[in-house]
Amino acid sequence: SGKAEAAKDEGSFDVNLPDAAEGKVVTRFPPEPSGYLHIGHAKAALLNQYFATKYKGRLIIRFDDTNPSKEKEDFVQNILTDLQTLGVKGDGPVTYTSNYFEQLQKECERMIREGKAYVDDTPQEKMRAERMVGDNSVNRDNSVEKNLAMWAEMLKGTEEGKKCCVRGKLDMQAANKAMRDPVYYRCNPMPHHRVGTKYMAYPTYDFACPYVDSIEGVTHALRSSEYHDRNELYDRVLSDLDVRKVHMWDFSRLNFVYTLLSKRKLQWFVDNGKVEGWDDPRFPTVQGILRRGLTVQALKEFILSQGASKNQNLMEWDKLWTINKRIIDPVCPRHTAVISEAKVLLTLSNGPQEPIVKILPRHKKFDGAGKKATTFTRAIWLDQADAAAVKEGEEVTLMDWGNAFIRGIHTDADTGLVTGLTGELHLEGSVKTTKLKLTWLPEIGELVPLSLVDLDHLITKPKLEEEDDFTSVLNPVTRRDTPALGDANMRNLQKGNVLQLERKGYYIVDVPYLRKEKPVMLISIPDGRQKDP
């Protein structure tokens, strides 16, 4: 049965939460507004929504805004946008942990009065060392009066207060290090994006999250399994506060090869100008991967296919892009481009004297993709790579046109590059017998300048270990721009349009046509066939 369960786990989120009664389940998605949502957060959000829906319960969207040093309003707004993109909607208004600061402060004070917490001014390094070996802090047995006096200094944010934090008086010798007197409150003089400078001290996630979950009526708190060791602490905080219990349920954290999924690390790339911003198409953020050409449908399908299992999974990107290709290929229009560098003119001796324009479908099997105008001229542009591949006398197929014989090949003796071709149309020839099917563009007419953008992973190591310094494995080159020309129809493409350049691959429009001198920027969409290096 273990096997059957694992199989079931793999295919969908379809598992049961403990103690879940229809109409009674309340889940929550609690992002910290310290960055945009990434694909791991997308999984957490969709999973919480899935269970709220499955049990006809409620989903709460709550901003976990307890650290003013990392958080800002801009992140709140972008996370709301990202949730909307994912189709994740809370039942009831969005909430904020900062709505509860007053209560949390009172509760913390009560913990101090009841001897369940104490104030400690042990320097951070020393505290860490004591925690490692299980030594008590010198402040652990201070009187309640002394603790309250130091707490007052913390709330005022005085020099003395700023050295202090409140710690739960749990068990410094506990096997689970999360239980070794965790920090509940700490000072931070930075203004908070919602409450400004009202507070000098803020609750930690470990203290605030269980309390707010309980107060807001959450029945099932889902979180990724790397926090598993802290489940015991979560329960303990609830029992020390004497508030309603909440079920804690772990799911697997999503990880990808060659990918950082930590907002702190992503922020580093933004701060150091290694990317354009949080929506950079090299970023694993929701905005980044959609800008790279992923569809929301593919993202959701992929995440659902992960299942709800508790195993950590390190995913390959190609799986996601393969799903995406299956979605975009049947509908996205086809266009033609020729690489600008060393492009070659093929002159057809019996080609049309005057240009001929025909209206063709933009997708042969899907009318919904619309139509395009194709211009047939006596001379046509080919890619250098194609020109170098043809042989004298060879019959080739010109796509959307017909066959032609290659008659003459002119090569530059110094560079070895093909500089010109001559040929002859042979439209009665069978396209089934030719080896080469060539894409081409008319010599005459307004071709559209393009920039084809290929992107690569930001780091060169597939799986970063805890001790790895990510700045030592940066990929020096993560973007390559190739100038090209596109068919005249491409002038009408809009930002975000997905298309296929025949024989080149799928692309998404990042910058549309503005004027002749400015290339249309097309970002290459992986199609799942490029294996990660």
Chain positions contacting ligand ATP, by CB under 6 A: 30-32, 40-41, 43-44, 64, 223-224, 253-254, 261-263
Q: What is the chain's Cα-based Rg?
A: 30
Q: Which is nearer to Mg ion, 69 or 136 (CB)?
A: 69
Residues 365-404 that bind Mg ion (CB under 5 A): none
Tokens in use for 516?
């002749």
Is there binding between residue 206 and Mg ion (CB under 5 A)?
no
Please choose which of ligand ATP, Mg ion, none residue 346 contacts, taking the beta carbon within 5 to 8 angstroms, the exact cut-off set by kind: none
**How near is the Cβ of 512 to ligand ATP at its closest, in Å?**
32
Q: Which is nearer to ligand ATP, 41 or 292 (CB)?
A: 41
**How near is the Cβ of 434 to ligand ATP at its closest, in Å?**
49
Please choose which of ligand ATP, Mg ion, none residue 239 contacts, taking the beta carbon within 5 to 8 angstroms, the exact cut-off set by kind: none
| Helix axis angle, 317-328 to 296-306, nearest 10° | 130
Residues 201 and 104: their CA atoms lie apart, in Å, by 11
**How near is the Cβ of 42 to ligand ATP at its closest, in Å?**
8
Q: Which is nearer to ligand ATP, 162 or 253 (CB)?
A: 253
Is there binding between residue 527 and Mg ion (CB under 5 A)?
no
**How near is the Cβ of 262 to ligand ATP at its closest, in Å?**
4
Please choose which of ligand ATP, Mg ion, none residue 288 contacts, taking the beta carbon within 5 to 8 angstroms, the exact cut-off set by kind: none
Q: Which helix (H) or strand (E) holds 202?
A: strand 201-203
Closest by CA position to 457, among listed 391, 382, 349, 532: 532
Q: Which is nearer to Mg ion, 44 or 490 (CB)?
A: 44
Instruction: Name, in order, each residue with C-beta under 8 angstroms of 425's C-beta and a sequence gap of 6 or more.
Output: 348, 350, 351, 401, 402, 403, 404
Instruction: Name, in order, each residue with C-beta under 8 angstroms of 377's C-beta and a sequence gap of 6 or more.
Output: 351, 352, 355, 442, 443, 444, 445
Active site annotation includes 253: yes
Closest by CA position to 310, among listed 1, 15, 528: 15
Q: Looking at beta carbons, which residue is closest to Mg ion?
A: 32
* CB-based contact 299:39 (threshold 8 Å): yes
Q: Which is nearer to ligand ATP, 178 or 421 (CB)?
A: 178
Please choose which of Mg ion, ligand ATP, none residue 44 contacts, taking the beta carbon within 5 to 8 angstroms, the exact cut-off set by kind: ligand ATP
Residues 30-69 that bind Mg ion (CB under 5 A): 32
* CB-based contact 211:182 (threshold 8 Å): no
* Torsion angle (degrees, nearest 10) of CA 118, 124, 127, 133: 160
**How near is the Cβ of 168 to ligand ATP at its closest, in Å?**
20
**How near is the Cβ of 103 to Mg ion at its closest, in Å?**
21
Neighbours of 147 (CB within 10 A): 23
Indicate which residue of 180, 263, 291, 292 is catalytic: 263
Please choose which of Mg ion, ligand ATP, none residue 279 contacts, taking the beta carbon within 5 to 8 angstroms, the exact cut-off set by kind: none
* Torsion angle (degrees, nearest 10) of CA 299, 303, 305, 307: -170
Indicate which residue of 28, 32, 153, 167 is catalytic: 32
Q: How far from the centroid of its chain's Cα atoms is residue 140's Cα?
A: 43
Q: Which is nearer to ligand ATP, 224 or 336 (CB)?
A: 224
- In terms of DSSP bridges, do strands 58-63 and 95-96 run parallel, antiparallel, or are they unpaired? parallel
Q: Which is nearer to Mg ion, 251 or 401 (CB)?
A: 251
Please choose which of Mg ion, ligand ATP, none residue 223 contacts, taking the beta carbon within 5 to 8 angstroms, the exact cut-off set by kind: ligand ATP
Closest by CA position to 22, among listed 54, 50, 47: 54
**How near is the Cβ of 326 to ligand ATP at its closest, in Å?**
24
Instruction: State the catalytic residues.
Output: 32, 253, 263
Residues lying near Mg ion in the complex (CB under 5 A): 32
